[in-house]
Amino acid sequence: MEPLSFPNYSFRFQEADRKKMIFDVVRKKFVALTPEEWVRQHCIHFLLEEKEVPLSLVGVESSIQYQGMNRRCDLLIYKAGKPNLLVECKAPDIPLNAKVVEQLARYQSVVQVPFMWITNGIHHLMLQLSEGKLERIDALPQYSNW
């Protein structure tokens, strides 16, 4: 897998049925190592190690209902019993374009979180909803400051 614009983290790998697998510390199991999963695992470790998010408050591939259809959010981070950060991960070769932002907006219309993050592992777009205004932010604050 290609290097991403994240700090270096230690990951556990294994091979099963000729497929490379990576251990997901949230789901507590090995999952297929796809380019998108590579980005998701970096996001998880970034949130746990850099932003000090408690492991028990991270939801991976959380199901939501959007216009009667089941959808899955890559990551939902909770605080005080409700979603607080929505993360949408894309493979490194997927550009962060209007289509990706529209996907995030659809999910946001359901979960209504104050923080949003779209990443392909190389480029990051972080947003904060404050007093009804959506603003781009340079970095996510520490979890304790959400």
User: Which residues have C-beta within 8 Å of that of residue 124, sequence separation ≥ 6?
Assistant: 5, 117, 118
State the average pLDDT over residues 93-118. 92
Mean pLDDT of the chain: 94
Q: Is the pTM of this model over 0.75?
A: yes
The residue ranking higher by pLDDT, 93 or 71, is: 93
CATH at 137: 3.90.1570.30
Structure tokens at 128: 């904060």
In a domain, 124, yes or no: yes
What is the number of domains present in the chain? 1
Half-sphere exposure of residue 66: CA atoms within 13 angstroms, side-chain side: 17
Report the share of the chain in percent with pLDDT over 90.
Answer: 79
- Is 8 part of a structural domain of the chain? no
| Structural domain harbouring 105 | 13-145
**143, 52 Cβ separation under 8 angstroms:** yes
Per-residue pLDDT, 2: 84
How many residues are given for the chain? Answer: 146
Whether residue 4 is contained in a domain is answered as: no
Distance of alpha carbon 115 from alpha carbon 70, whole angstroms:
22
Tell me whether residue 28 is in a domain.
Answer: yes
Whether 135 is covered by a domain: the verdict is: yes
Using pLDDT thresholds of 50, 70 and 90, give the confidence band for residue 65: confident
